Amino acid sequence: MCVGLDTDITKIPTHLLSTEDPVFEFNKAIIDATHDQAVAYKINTAFYEAQGIQGWVSLQKTLEYIPEGIFTIADAKRGDIGNTSEQYARTFFHTYPFDSVTVAPYMGEDSVKPFLKFEDKWSIVLGLTSNAGSADFQLQSSGGELMYQRVLRTVASWGTPGNIMFVIGATRKEQLQEVRAMLPEHFFLVPGVGAQGGDVHTVCQSAFTKDAGLLINVSRGIIFAGNDEHFAEKANEEAINYQKQMEIFF
């Protein structure tokens, strides 16, 4: 399980708002409550960037607080011309030493390659996403195949299963088995479980293998399970619940 730290300051318990760094205090409590169930944490950078300098401070403190050995994801969805992507890669692999970063492949190979140059780091490329608007492009025909199929096949050729993962939305139930057949050796980051309507059983049954597994992300369903002084306890309960749903597939 991957816990998404999409920490919206307008949704955290009000008693934390009087602290010096409410976002970090919230994240710290969530990490303390869930790290025994989580193999990864995904920090959605938009919720931190929106807070300006203080947001970046909260992000750095959160990243440093995550226990050693737990996989870290910068959910930044970057992708630009080569020299700009080089700076994005340096941002999230050097300045902020994440293990991985989400990458948008729309601008092509030269926008993704700079991320792949960092050893022991992962690029998690947007493949088939959960949002309704994904149908505008991803499900359109392109050269005899759907656009997302072309993206997955092409991007996979730029790297290896050892440095590329793909974002595959949990709500895309009808495509999960097909995508797994296309990419039998790659790991998938699977958002969309919980608040967006995806379910653990369908995802695991369709795409989990013993050699190339899944990082099933749950964000709001865990971190905002409670909204009072007991919010961390509620997060722990939900994390345990999701983990138990996954255990039967291990």
Q: Which residues are catalytic?
A: 77
The token pair at 150 is 């072309």
Q: Alpha-carbon distance 221 to 235, whole Å?
A: 8
Q: Is 16 within 8 Å of 26 (Cβ atoms)? A: yes
Cβ–Cβ < 8 Å for 227, 13 = yes
User: Is residue 54 classed exposed, middle or buried when 0-12, 13-18 and 19+ CB atoms within 10 A define those classes?
Assistant: middle
Instruction: Note the Cα 167 to chain centre separation in Å.
Output: 8
Give 146's strand partners: 141
> What residue type is 37 in one-letter code?
Q
CA distance 235 to 214: 21
In this structure, what DSSP letter does residue 1 have? -
